[in-house]
Structure 1
Amino acid sequence: MHERFDVVVIGAGFGGLHMLWKLRQMGRTAVALEKADDVGGTWYWNRYPGARCDVPSFEYSVPWDPELEQEWNWSEKYSAQPEILAYVEEVAKRHDLKRDIRFETTVTAMTRDETRGLWIVETDTGVTFEAPVVVSAAGCLSAPNLPDIPGIEDFSRPLHHTGRWPHDPVDFSGKSVGVIGTGSTGVQASTAIAAEAGHLYVFQRTAQYSLPALNRDISAEELAEQKRAYAELRQLQRSSFGAAVIDPPKGMKAFEDPQEERLAEYERRWNIGRQDLLAAYGDISTDPEVNAEVSEFVRGKIRAIVKDPEIAEKLCPKVNPLGTRRIIMDTGYFEIFNQDNVSLVDIREDPIERITETGVKLRSGQFIELDMLVIATGYDAVTGPLIDMNITGRGGRTLADKWEHGPETYLGLMMHGFPNLFTITGPQSPTVHANVIMAIEQHVEWIAKCLAFMEREQVAEIEPARQSEEEWKKQVDAVGSVGLRAKDTNNWYTGGNIPGKPRSFLTWQGGFVRYGEICDTIANEGYRGFELNREPTKASA
């Protein structure tokens, strides 16, 4: 069975819903394909205990529905997963978007029909969709990564990945639970599980910097004030480095201030409950000595919280500088290590040798029996969700082959050899280095204007020139190589968390507002760097 549309959208999270809504405004026929049985994207799948957004609620809301801004009442400074999912469902309901979404439908292959100028999208339901244009809103963090630990498939007791959490409640009471992974997800899950489990074992390979979220309920007065200020908030988001509200640096050179003033500024920002500490001074991300001072400030906070000095020291990050990896916002993570029912297992010092049917065996010979294992090792980020769709472009070349040595895109929006295939928050765009809601808006608007241009100018196909991809990669690499982040490549920003994945800068790190300016300039110059074809083109060099 074949169904034909103007546009096929992949995914029904915030990106897919925004794109679907925009296409309706343009009068285009569109369908969204979603593997889950409801909307929500990452907030549908990530139901693990403690799941919470690390962007303040007012900032993590759709900017294209001003009426909903005034009607929706956020309850907390940082919304929990159930509230965000309810919000996404309300967005879909208000705009009757579900009627154009095919749920429980997974894309198994996508092939460009060069003769007819169509994308042929195959699914696991047996229904094939055809459209001249496809927009992927699959999400940067939607392909779970199961760690390559010997014996993991042998574990006979409940094992849950945080990215595919059961819909039914999971009972931890009285159980011995192991959590593998101490990134943002692992920190959130461990904090929540520690309150219920008989005993929690946190398996830590890399100690993490984490800042206090200082989460709290939102008062009626604050809610009213924020609603009044939404227009101002949106303007600030669209014109900022990370599409987020952050206090500007106190100065560009930290050591121009006396140490007493610097430490006071670090303390003030620690108590804001956002990521402001990273921006205390303009050279924190570039000057190793300044970064070392701020990093030691955070380590001092950890030592002050955790009562056991030995455990505190193991929790202090020393491998990577502050800010080179994703900063975590926690709600009492370090405090759980003062509980008698929580143990830290340092697997850098004593690695996991294998997982057995009933627990974890360490290299030292120690065996930890577990009733349940929670895997919080993240995702095959940014490129993984696209490669998983088995996309084949012109001349039979697959996307996996094209990206054998890392992503090749133009602006993170399109790829040479894959005409009329757009990617929302795709590789080499700001993606996770900006508030994703605002990054989605910028991409949706750019794609919509491009489609309108194609219709107006009778352009059948658009794709980047090969040279444009090469030049964009140079820019992505150039901005990624500036500062201390370039020295820490063993993380998911560069694909370092996936064995065998090529190391490259997966994201544009030059700032959200600068990226938007580049995209707009290219569009305003008649889509400079793109090949515009009035008839479908066949394979070319």
Structure 2
Amino acid sequence: WYWNRYPGARCDVESMEYSYQFSEELQQEWVWTERYATQPEILRYINHVADRFDLRRDITFDTRVESALFDEKANRWQVETSAGPVSAQFLILATGCLSASNDPDFPGLADFSGQVLHTGRWPHEPVDFSGKRVGIIGSGSSSIQSSPLIAAEAEHLSVFQRTANYSVPAHNQPLDPVVVDEIKRDYPRFRAANKLMGSGFGSRVPPNVETGALQVDDAERQEVLDQRWARGGLGLLGAFNDLLLFPEANEVAASYVRDKIRATVEDPATAALLEPDYAIGCKRLCVDTGYYEMFNRDNVSLVDVSKTPIDAITPDGVCVGDTVHAIDVLILATGFD
């Protein structure tokens, strides 16, 4: 949340769940403002926790771990770091898989005359897109979250898409004080309910463990999916208990989202390109605010690079086949290594 500060960056787990639970005082004192917290709010929360519990005294910053060897005689880990040796009984490698950005090696990228940004290393200073032709490569979560805000500011936005992704609306809103009070009155019960969930969250909209999509008629399937879509968020995948078990059941939810895309995007050709052709849930489900609606704007174009890939980056744009798409700012929404 320090580096991932691109426009629209926010968590897709609800705020009351995406929080620490080791301190009841912390749970009670912190006030989340939105259903899905933005990157700045999450960063404020993390800094608050670090300050409140004086955690920085136990953290060595700007330090590289060079080696870690287990000493069987001493039964301890001997860790060599750039700040000196450390001996530890337990060694936890909490290095994660979403830290090193994936930097594509497009020919000519170094010669691009405009500004190059990566969603995983966004600058701390505000980026002004007004009057700019912007190109964003990628159609995953960071692109889906940032593109609508960039499109609202830029002269033109070109989205270079190789693989269409499923995305569901967030329907984000200010947190209801009544809901917040209800949770805070018995946070332990709320946490316990989430621990019973396979994902560790989502107990307020639990998955349907009783009914399969193939066990009900079309009308009931539509009603259940409509309810989940209207609420927003990742709960769509829990609409029926067989969506991730049987291809026929999965296609029920997949077709539902494709229908929503066609109903939202006015240009049929663009809508067809935005429709994923694989099972829903086998890749990360994205959560958006106005992503599909964005393609109805006159200043947004979708460039399909699935069959004709990006050949090179020129000083003035992105070359796809015989066409050079002129851009002033290039955004690499290409994820992590």
TM class by shorter-chain length? over 0.9
Q: Secondary structure at the match of 1:134?
A: coil
1:417 alignment counterpart: none
Aligned-partner residue type, residue 348 of structure 1? S
How many residue pairs get aligned? The number is 332
1:176 alignment counterpart: 133
Of 354, 363, 366, which residue of structure 1 is paired with 2:312?
A: 354
Deviation at 1:105? Answer: 2.7
1:253 alignment counterpart: 212
2:249 alignment counterpart: 290
| 1:254 and 1:283 in contact (8 A); partners too | yes
| Cα separation, partners in 2 of 1:113 and 1:277, compared to 1, 3 Å | closer
| 2:207 and 2:238 in contact (8 A); partners too | yes
- What is the alpha-carbon distance in structure 2 between the residues aligned to residue 146 and residue 259 of structure 1? 45
| 1:251 and 1:280 in contact (8 A); partners too | no
| 1:162 and 1:374 in contact (8 A); partners too | yes
2:238 alignment counterpart: 279
| 2:194 and 2:201 in contact (8 A); partners too | yes
Aligned-partner residue type, residue 296 of structure 2? N
2:267 alignment counterpart: 308
Q: Secondary structure at the match of 2:295?
A: helix
2:161 alignment counterpart: 204
Deviation at 1:250? Answer: 6.1
1:154 alignment counterpart: 111
2:301 alignment counterpart: 343
2:36 alignment counterpart: 78
| 1:205 and 1:348 in contact (8 A); partners too | yes
Q: Secondary structure at the match of 1:338?
A: coil
- What is the alpha-carbon distance in structure 1 between the residues aligned to residue 241 and residue 54 of structure 2? 45
| Cα separation, partners in 2 of 1:214 and 1:229, compared to 1, 3 Å | farther
1:190 alignment counterpart: 147
Deviation at 1:174? Answer: 0.8
| Cα separation, partners in 2 of 1:264 and 1:152, compared to 1, 3 Å | same
- What is the alpha-carbon distance in structure 1 between the residues aligned to residue 132 and residue 91 of structure 2? 47
1:131 alignment counterpart: 87
| 2:137 and 2:333 in contact (8 A); partners too | yes
Deviation at 1:226? Answer: 2.5
Q: Secondary structure at the match of 1:373?
A: strand
State the Cα deviation string for residues 179-225 of structure 1 (Å, max 9, x = none): 11111111111122111111111111111110111000113333222
Deviation at 1:306? Answer: 0.9
| 1:172 and 1:193 in contact (8 A); partners too | yes
TM-score relative to the length of structure 1:
0.59
| 2:213 and 2:252 in contact (8 A); partners too | no
State the Cα deviation string for residues 247-306 of structure 1 (Å, max 9, x = none): 231644322211111111111111111222211111111211121122111111011111
Q: How does 1:142-541 map to 2 (within 5 A)?
A: 142-245=99-202, 246-249=205-208, 251-318=210-277, 320-363=278-321, 365-380=322-337
| 2:77 and 2:91 in contact (8 A); partners too | no
Deviation at 1:349? Answer: 3.2
Aligned-partner residue type, residue 195 of structure 1? A
Which one has more relative contact order, counting CA pairs under 8 Å at least 6 apart?
A: 2
1:7 alignment counterpart: none
| Cα separation, partners in 2 of 1:179 and 1:253, compared to 1, 3 Å | same
Deviation at 1:122? Answer: 2.4
TM-score relative to the length of structure 2:
0.94
| 1:54 and 1:78 in contact (8 A); partners too | yes
- What is the alpha-carbon distance in structure 1 between the residues aligned to residue 106 and residue 125 of structure 2? 27
- What is the alpha-carbon distance in structure 1 between the residues aligned to residue 187 and residue 151 of structure 2? 37
> Identity over the aligned pairs, expressed in percent?
47
Aligned-partner residue type, residue 280 of structure 1? A
State the Cα deviation string for residues 233-253 of structure 1 (Å, max 9, x = none): 100111211101142316443
Check if 1:104 corresponds to 2:38: no
| 2:166 and 2:286 in contact (8 A); partners too | yes
Structure 2: runs of 5 or more not aligned: none
- What is the alpha-carbon distance in structure 2 between the residues aligned to residue 266 and residue 221 of structure 1? 26
- What is the alpha-carbon distance in structure 1 between the residues aligned to residue 134 and residue 87 of structure 2? 47
Deviation at 1:346? Answer: 0.8
Deviation at 1:113? Answer: 6.5
- What is the alpha-carbon distance in structure 2 between the residues aligned to residue 264 and residue 97 of structure 1? 48
